[in-house]
Chain A
Amino acid sequence: MTRLAILGIGSPFGGDRIAWILVERLRRSRFAPAHDVIVETLDRPGPALLERLQCVERAILVDAVAGGCEPAAWYAEDTFARFASPLSGHAIGLAETLDLGRALGDLPALELLGLRLRADGTADPHACTAGLRLLIRRLRSLSR
């Protein structure tokens, strides 16, 4: 059982790659997580995300969001659906995947970090920096 998984999800292209950038910056930082923590990027996983969440106690999902008040913020699951990335194939995006995981009772403890895209859909470096700050603060809290 893995204690924690930090998963940047979404497309590696366009504004959606902001989660990939954040994960890469986390890896390069001095806060690179311990051996029992998974740090990965997942390219538009759809329902396959649920397979990745098997045998994980807690997962932090990082994704681009459209809208929202802050450049980077923690979201509750029920509000995340309003801001999450556009639907992926077959109308099964992140929100629907999490609904499915919840129905199956297969979700670990989940925390959702949303990085706001610019109005034109491009990645905002400020959102990435703010998101990294929030994430590192949370990792410190979890390690105590």
Chain B
Amino acid sequence: MTERRDVRIEVPVLARVEGEGALSLEVREGRIERLQLRIYEPPRLFEKLLEGRGYEEIPDAVARICGICPVAYQMSAVAALEQAMGVAVDDWVRRMRRVFYCGEWLQSHALHIHLLAAPDFLGYDSVVEMAKGHPELVRRGLRLQALGNDLIALFGGRSVHPVGACVGGFHHAPTVAAVAVMRARLNDAQEDALALLDWALALPVPDSDQDFVSVALRHPQDYAMAEGRIVSDRGLDIGAEAFEAHFRELQVPHSTALHALLHDEPYMVGPLARLNLNHERLPQALRERLLAGGLRLPSRNPFHSLIARAAEIAFIVGEAERLLADYAEPPLPAAAVTPRAGVGFGATEAPRGLLWHRYEMNEAGHVCRARIVPPTSQNQARIEADLRQSLELLGLDQPDEALRLRGEQVIRSYDPCISCATHFLRLDVRRE
């Protein structure tokens, strides 16, 4: 018996992955012989576009790579550029960058949970339909997302492609009054965040027990966001400068999106990988809440990514408020920059996972060469491996609609940019 499933994915205009994709599935005698997630991403040539540009332009330029996680691109870029040019930032900048990043995680995670993932698990076609049955759930999600947007805007001037970040720090420091208002809002949001986590812990998700490699940053004390070493649960422990010695990007014939492998194996980046590797860095009360809710870490179920996002939201709201306590405007919101030649590496945790940048600079502070490895491409090979295991576990004899829905759930749980389309898999099944 042969089954062939062609899938069409309609993707809205979005950075890094856009256009059409397809899932090809070939089954013979009850086993998957071929499974390919194909993504047609028009080359955007961003790395080439950055060549010749001065260091001052880079944070705003790379923010345009993604409309959902511009802060991540800015933070990885400034980390790499500061290393290349020997810029040392002070503690105020480090802490406020973490707050800035909290805003992005909050808006991105809230958007994904409520508008993209939850309808899958509650049996709705879209968030619009889900809103009729679960209005308070959606309203809570929108409140949290709006808070994240406003937190980004506090430091970035605006939430879409923010312009506040620069090499050395920020162009402008928020006022004490504006921070006080934000702190009050963060405090008020604690209840929403914890209620969301409890809801996520109780959400019925498919069972899955997969043997995958988790990769994320790890920091000596903090739950890693903008600083730390790149680690895996298989013993990897490297600085960002060693990334290319262990990770390999490759072109595969069926996708214009690059795949990435760690020591020639697929791996997972993103919230679940972060939680698996860093859960002991969370506050004790949050760890106890996860345990009481039945989540055992590290988890081998990729569908727990939704819980991981909710856990990170609960963490973020408290962390941002903590970091803004005793806020004072600094004498200067950014360290001075003296251009010089050098090579720098930056790795931070975008909402979707590890985002790695490398820049070669000349004496004038212009980019000679740039390389950017985003989380969406790093997860491609893992998504294919997950699809294979999840569909086999579901049963390849299941109706086409059930296979299609499970495929969508798997792909969306990684929150790649292709998950922007609400229903992007169309299966054309031929049975013999």
Contact A48 B420 (CB under 8 A): no
Question: CB of B17 within 8 A of chain A?
Answer: no
| Inter-chain contacts of B146 with A (CB < 8 A) | 48, 51
Which residue on chain A has the smallest CB distance to residue B129?
A103
Contact B142 A51 (CB under 8 A): yes
Question: CB of B111 within 8 A of chain A?
Answer: yes
Question: CB of B205 within 8 A of chain A?
Answer: no
| Inter-chain contacts of B145 with A (CB < 8 A) | 47-48
A44 touches which of B131, B160, B419, B422 (Cβ 8 Å): B160
Interface of B is mostly: helix
Cross-chain pair count, CB within 8 angstroms: 60
Question: CB of B330 within 8 A of chain A?
Answer: no
A50 touches which of B111, B116, B142, B421 (Cβ 8 Å): B142
Give the contacts of B133-177 with A (CB-CB under 8 A). Answer: 135, 138-139, 142-143, 145-146, 149, 158-160
Give the contacts of A58-94 with B (CB-CB under 8 A). Answer: 86-92
Taken residue by residue from 10 to 32, chain A's Cβ proximity to chain B (1 for < 8 Å, 0 otherwise) reads as 01000000000000000000000
Contact A86 B13 (CB under 8 A): yes
Expressed in whole angstroms, the minimum distance between the Cβ of B69 and any Cβ of chain A is: 10
Contact A100 B131 (CB under 8 A): yes
Expressed in whole angstroms, the minimum distance between the Cβ of B399 and any Cβ of chain A is: 26
Question: CB of B14 within 8 A of chain A?
Answer: yes
B420 touches which of A43, A89, A99 (Cβ 8 Å): A89
| Inter-chain contacts of B320 with A (CB < 8 A) | none
How far apart sit A18 and B128, CA to CA, in the bound complex (Å)? Answer: 29
Expressed in whole angstroms, the minimum distance between the Cβ of A92 and any Cβ of chain B is: 6
Which residue on chain B has the smallest CB distance to residue A51?
B146
| Inter-chain contacts of A1 with B (CB < 8 A) | none
How far apart sit A106 and B115, CA to CA, in the bound complex (Å)? Answer: 17
| Inter-chain contacts of B132 with A (CB < 8 A) | 103
Contact A100 B128 (CB under 8 A): yes
| Inter-chain contacts of B131 with A (CB < 8 A) | 100, 103-104
Contact A90 B135 (CB under 8 A): no
| Inter-chain contacts of A88 with B (CB < 8 A) | 12, 67
Expressed in whole angstroms, the minimum distance between the Cβ of A12 and any Cβ of chain B is: 9
Which residue on chain A has the smallest CB distance to residue B114?
A47
Q: Point out which of B116, B135, B158, B160 has the most chain A C-beta atoms below 10 A from its C-beta.
A: B160
- B interface residues, Cβ below 8 angstroms from A: 12-14, 67-68, 111, 115-116, 127-129, 131-132, 135, 138-139, 142-143, 145-146, 149, 158-160, 419-422
- A interface residues, Cβ below 8 angstroms from B: 11, 43-44, 47-48, 50-51, 86-92, 96, 99-100, 103-106
Can you list 11 contacts pairing A with B, beta carbon distance less than 8 Å? A43-B159, A89-B12, A89-B68, A89-B420, A90-B116, A91-B420, A103-B131, A103-B135, A104-B138, A105-B135, A106-B139
A-B pairs, 10 with minimum CB distance: A103-B131, A51-B146, A87-B12, A90-B420, A89-B67, A91-B12, A99-B128, A103-B128, A44-B160, A48-B146
